Structure 1
Amino acid sequence: MQAVSALEAVPPLFLIVAAGLLGLLVGSFLNVVIHRLPRMMEHDEANYLAELRDEPLPHPDRYNLMVPRSACPHCGHQIAAWENVPVISYLLLRGKCSACKAPIGIRYPLVELATAVLSALAMWHFGATVQALAAIVMVWSLVALTMIDADTQLLPDQITLPLLWLGLLLNLNGAFAPLADAVIGAAAGYLLLWSVYWLFKLVRGKEGMGYGDFKLMGALGAWFGWQALPALVLLSSIVGAVFGIVLLVVRRQGRETPFPFGPFIAGAGLIVLFFGADVLPLGLTFSR
């Protein structure tokens, strides 16, 4: 609370700019998380199975968010500090590796910019409050989850579960919703998609979504309360359905082609974070 009181004495524009700059730096780190966390999970699982079989570890070397140093995937050139400045380095390098001139994906600076803009927007929207700091953490988490799911169709527990528990802890004092509503929201959010999963599996004989989707919806329910679930479900479903139709028409992909649902849940979470659950003019939300 003392930290928040100190922030209240700082000019709002300074806080917004500072939040944006911090988001830019964190966005650079999120690019590492997005790339490495799924591989860390794969390595851990492969090593665990090898240990059970008393076989040599397939991945004996350390591999985490810090080790080894970032390198070009094409030539192995280790990224120098000056090549790792968010957005600026991409522009200076003209989107190419300084060693082999292989193209660097435009996604890297876009993730950094998106994280910066959303962090600044959270500070502007909530002001010098606990909600602003919490919202910035949510933004970082949802950006990472969106990109990981888009790449791998995974929503790692290492992010979804801390997000859920953080939402419940924040709402001990009603930061975003009364605690009782948050607890019900966490349970109902998880069970809602869990029920859809099993209904789809019984009817179609196959899985329609992953367990990570349940956990992410449960986490958003923990943050915003059960009253926000209709908006979260409807928004994510509508955008997901539109995206699926676009894939059918533009890419001529079949209806059986899987696509990640997590980004749409995350997008719905951001909409509710900034605009509230009453963003839908359809009477599908419940007043507290």
Structure 2
Amino acid sequence: MLSTLEWSAAVLLGLLVGSFLNVVIHRLPTMLQRRWEAECAALRGEEPPARPPYNLWVPRSHCPACQTPIPSWRNVPLLSFVLQRGRCAACGARIAWRYPIIELACGVWFAAVAWRHGVSLAAVAWAAWGAALLALAAIDWDTTLLPDDITLPLLWAGLIGAALGWTGVALADALWGAVAGYLSLWSVYWTFKLLTGKEGMGYGDFKLLAGLGAWLGWQALIPLVLVASLVGALVGLGLKATGGLREGRYVPFGPFLALGGLLVWVIGPRALLTWLGLPA
């Protein structure tokens, strides 16, 4: 049983990690775009455009509207948003609701992991897993990108965690989960493309499902994909009915794969199949 201090530490750490995830979600796509542009320039034999440093640490946090740097005492997770009533203290521009939502979700996740695993290496591993999924889901929703910078470490960490006994999944189950996760969506992708001439999903979805299979085992894949497909279809229909579909009329699949993975972790694959009305 965790003490009050341990519970508080887990939630506080989750809020801080959630604040950092907001930086990752906002900056990583731009960092990737600049990297691709530099690589294209190199292939053309040109010098990449000169730009000031831009990464997860530089420049310091600032308001997107007025560019005013945000001091650390105004960048406290959740609390700053509440005290500033959701607005920039310098220019009054609205702060997106997603910032406190990501922070709160990460704090709740860390608390859930602490409740299940206590203070342990397994808790550290699963907390990092959930944080990675949260970042991937938000980035994919915004940009339809699932960066290799996160999906590939997620995959390898799942296999290593299984080998070290941190995830509670047998290494063989993790290995075949990764293989089956990748090949299943790869097969769907190529079948759809051969039949229609169109791409129904990106390669990042293959890698994400492979990573989920490595962490949860091959037994989790069917209920996970069923939940992701069901929720994704419902959200897609809702967006279509309200005119909210983006250009190209598609909905990214990554956020729903992440949701399916989290639900499998919370209630288990057999219970999830029962919840879907299918034999476990």
Alignment of 1:130-145 (within 5 A): 130-145=121-136
Q: CA deviation at 1:59?
A: 4.7
- Runs of at least 5 residues in structure 1 that lack an aligned partner in the other structure: 1-9
Distance 2:246 2:147 in 1: 27
State the 4+ residue runs in structure 1 displaced beyond 4 angstroms. Answer: 252-256, 282-285
Give the residue type in structure 2 aligned to 1:69.
Answer: R
Change (3 A) 1:212 1:274: same
Which residue is 1:177 aligned to?
169
Letter in 2 for 1:63: Y
Q: How many residues align?
A: 276
- Cα distance, 1:254 vs structure 2: 9.2
Shift of 1:284: 5.6
The percent identity for this pair of structures is: 52
User: Structure 1 254/64 Cα, relative in aligned 2: closer, same or farther at 3 Å?
Assistant: closer
TM-score by length of 1: 0.91
Deviation at 1:61, TM superposition (A): 2.2
8 A Cα contact 1:19 1:120, kept in partner? yes
Aligned counterpart for 1:247 among listed residues 232, 239, 246: 239
Is 1:186 paired with 2:181? no
Q: Is the contact between residue 2 and residue 118 of structure 2 (CA under 8 Å) also seen in structure 1?
A: no
**1:50 and 2:36 aligned:** no
Separation (CA, whole Å) in 2 of partners of 1:245 and 1:132: 37
Q: 1:264 aligns with which of 256, 266, 277?
A: 256
1:280 paired to 2:264: no
Per-residue deviation at 1:54? 2.9
The farther-off stretch of 188-197 and 251-260 is 251-260
Residue 223 of structure 1 and its aligned partner are, at CA, apart by 0.8
**1:16, 1:207 → 2: CA distance?**
45
Q: Equivalent of 2:208, from 201, 212, 216?
A: 216
Equivalent runs, 1:201-212 vs 2, <5 Å? 201-212=193-204
Contact 1:168 1:179 in 2 (8 A): yes
Q: Which runs of 5+ in 2 are unaligned?
A: none
Instruction: Find 1:23's aligned residue among 14, 20, 26.
Output: 14
- TM-score, L = length of structure 2: 0.93
Alpha-carbon distance, 1:101 to partner? 1.0
* 8 A contact 2:178–2:211 mirrored in 1: yes
AA of the residue aligned to 2:218 = W
Q: How large is the Cα RMSD of the aligned pairs?
A: 1.8
Q: CA distance change for structure 1 residues 93 and 216 in 2, over 3 Å: closer, same or farther?
A: same
Q: What CA distance in whole angstroms lies between the structure 2 residues aligned with 1:68 and 1:173?
A: 37
